[in-house]
Amino acid sequence: MAARLTGRPVSGARRSSGAPAEVLLDGGTPVMVKRGDGPGAVRAEVAGLRWLAAADAVRVPAVLGHDEHWMVTERVPTGSPDPGAALRFGRALAALHTAGAPHFGAPPPDGPEDAFIGLAPMRNAAGTEWPQWYAEHRVLPYVRGAVDRGTLRPGEAAVFEQLCARLPELAGPAEPPARLHGDLWNGNVLWGADGEVRLIDPAAHGGHRETDLAMLLLFGCPHLDRVLDGYRQAAPLADGWRERVGLHQLFPLLVHAVLFGRGYAEQALAAARDALAR
């Protein structure tokens, strides 16, 4: 597979199982080979990586070849998390967001509207006002999905509907569409052996920059205070951003409720109720 997609012979494999798998191209160059999780998944990920790279901000692995089902990227040698690298990552993330997007919900160029976040479908549909777009495309579809799967009770959906109705007053100052990684949890942050962070597995789209930061805060990240310091040095955040973290965490929490069950649904309910109480 790697040979066909890169045009270079494969000389061996360092791991015979796992997703993605690591193989060696002729000459000893290590690469990662990954199969897409659904129709359009590879196209979306490749387009996302290239869109993030085009911002010349946060570094991402280079795409070395792909087809409809498989992709090959460079392997990133990893090291230990470092405070200096965290500070630089924060500044780079701010620059990525500032690179912007044509509108909320914009897919990367050549990326599909029907994409994925992890194993969950994610629709990239255009919006002009963030509160309405976030409600329609990042909260309510996953509420319905969680109800359908039985991880949210039908009566609990009303909490999220109430929150969506109040989003215009809860969302804070208007922000332009940011270029988001879109699935920015710690597992997608690689601390390179060269002292620079790379991001992998994007669910890239145009959105609110606080959503990326909220996901980092939800799942944790080494030296997170330094990441935030670097970010705010490069692009100060609007007043009240910390009070809005739970609002932005609804998206990943509801996605996880659909994929992984009731525990995440309860966290999403708590976040929604807390936002409504403010």
Residues belonging to the active site: 183
Which residue reads 């500044």 in tokens?
91
Q: How many whole angstroms separate alpha carbon 255 and alpha carbon 146?
A: 8
> Could you tell me if 137 and 123 are in contact, meaning their C-beta atoms sit under 8 angstroms apart?
yes
Angle subtended at Cα 42 by Cα 36 and Cα 47, rounded to the nearest 5 degrees: 155
Which one-letter DSSP state was computed for residue 187? G
Q: Residue type for 32, please?
A: M
> Could you tell me if 48 and 41 are in contact, meaning their C-beta atoms sit under 8 angstroms apart?
no
* Burial state string for 223-259 with b = 16 or more CB within 10 A and e = fewer than 16: beebbbbbbeebbebeeebeebbbbbbbbbbbbbbbb
Strand partners, 180: 205
Strand ranges inside the chain, DSSP E: 10-13, 21-25, 29-35, 63-66, 70-74, 114-117, 120-123, 178-180, 189-191, 197-199, 205-207
Q: Which residues contact 86 (CB under 8 A, 6 or more apart)?
A: 197, 221, 222, 223, 224, 226, 227, 230
Question: How far is CA 1 from its chain centroid?
Answer: 27
Q: What is the CA radius of gyration of the chain?
A: 19
